[in-house]
């Protein structure tokens, strides 16, 4: 299983939207996918119509260590082979509880899940091809737990005058996390909500030049993994609890997530 975390300290850059649609597109290509909603806002859970604001959320139980079998935490979505561990505001309390634990316990909560056996005898990490983790716009103990099991961090960015702000902090945290999880890397940035205005075209060009400019502090640091166009359909339907491909398969965003997955996996459909 490959574990991909969507992470950026900035809010509203399409982390959750990317988690919803990246997970879906991988599933559509036949991969078995586990989604992990690591944000108390529960937007990934909402994106699949699985948000429940009443109960203690499975992600909270996972962080509290309050579970026995992986099946207690993993829920099916409407798509067979695409499963989810949902979140809600109860996650906030779990993060505070963790502070009382020893460092090894504090950071090993998601690892325990990956190593757990499922009903058919396979470990969670063997049952799925991909795990997609949607993170909040901060780095708390739940995000550090996610970094302990992550292979590749993808940073969604919106092109604005400070698109790379905060990225050095994310990169530093990943370096720190390597001491406990040597396999974690910062894979690159995914440009989201892209509109081909003069301003955004110039911003994108700047980002490309930063990558190539030997004098820049960003030289060869943050490769651009893909560009997702802004879609009016996606913006208008943010209340629709479905992947964008399901309600508007031809729109720019749906098409661009397909392209992104092809280049990310190195495989066409
Ligand atoms: N390609 C797109 N075209 C149009 N709207 C988009 C696109 N991608 C995301 N959006 C919209 O942008 C808004 C912010 O996206 P999203 O909630 O995924 O951001 P986020 O980074 O997860 O935010 P937060 O930091 O609060 O968790 C949402 O309303 C979403 O529907
Ligand atoms: Mg989000």
HSE, CB side, 13 Å, CA atoms: give it for residue 240.
12
Q: How far is the CA of 135 from the centre of ligand 2 (A)?
A: 7
Q: Is the pTM of this model over 0.85?
A: yes
- Output the pLDDT for position 96: 86
- Output the pLDDT for position 183: 96
- Output the pLDDT for position 236: 87
- What's the CATH fold of domain 2-265? Rossmann fold (3.40.50)
**More confident of the two residues 96 and 111:** 111
CA distance 147 to 82: 22
CA distance 150 to 161: 29
Query: Beta-carbon neighbour count of residue 176 at 10 Å?
Result: 13
Q: How far is the CA of 215 from the centre of ligand 2 (A)?
A: 34
**Closest atom of ligand 1 to CA, residue 136:** 27
Is the per-residue pLDDT at 217 higher than 90? no
Q: What is the pLDDT of residues 118-151, one digit of tens each?
A: 999 999 999 999 999 999 999 999 999 999 999 9
Q: What is the mean pLDDT of residues 142-171?
A: 93
HSE, CB side, 13 Å, CA atoms: give it for residue 55.
10
Average pLDDT, the chain: 94
């Amino acid at each position: 299983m490959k574990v991909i975390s969507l992470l950026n300290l900035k809010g509203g850059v399409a982390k959750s939207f990317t988690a919803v649609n990246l997970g879906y597109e991988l599933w559509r290509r036949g991969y078995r996918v586990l989604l992990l909603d690591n944000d108390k806002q529960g937007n990934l859970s909402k994106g699949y119509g699985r948000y429940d604001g009443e109960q203690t959320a499975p992600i909270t139980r996972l962080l509290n260590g309050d579970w026995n079998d992986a099946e207690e935490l993993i829920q099916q979505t409407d798509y067979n082979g695409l499963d989810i561990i949902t979140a809600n505001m109860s996650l906030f309390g779990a993060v505070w509880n963790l502070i009382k634990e020893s460092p090894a316990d504090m950071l090993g909560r998601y690892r325990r899940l990956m190593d757990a056996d499922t009903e058919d005898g396979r470990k969670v990490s063997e049952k799925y091809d991909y795990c997609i983790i949607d993170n909040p716009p901060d780095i708390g103990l739940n995000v550090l737990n996610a970094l302990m099991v992550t292979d590749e961090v993808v940073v969604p960015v919106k092109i604005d005058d400070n698109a790379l702000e905060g990225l050095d902090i994310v990169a530093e945290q990943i370096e720190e996390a390597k001491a406990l999880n040597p396999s974690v890397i910062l894979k690159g940035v995914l440009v989201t909500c892209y509109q081909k205005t003069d301003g955004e075209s110039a911003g994108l060009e700047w980002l490309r030049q930063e990558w190539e400019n030997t004098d820049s502090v960003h030289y060869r640091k943050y490769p651009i993994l893909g560009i997702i166009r802004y879609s009016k359909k996606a913006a208008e339907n943010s209340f629709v609890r479905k992947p964008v491909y399901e309600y508007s398969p031809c729109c720019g965003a749906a098409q661009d997530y397909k392209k992104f997955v092809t280049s990310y996996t190195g495989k066409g459909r």
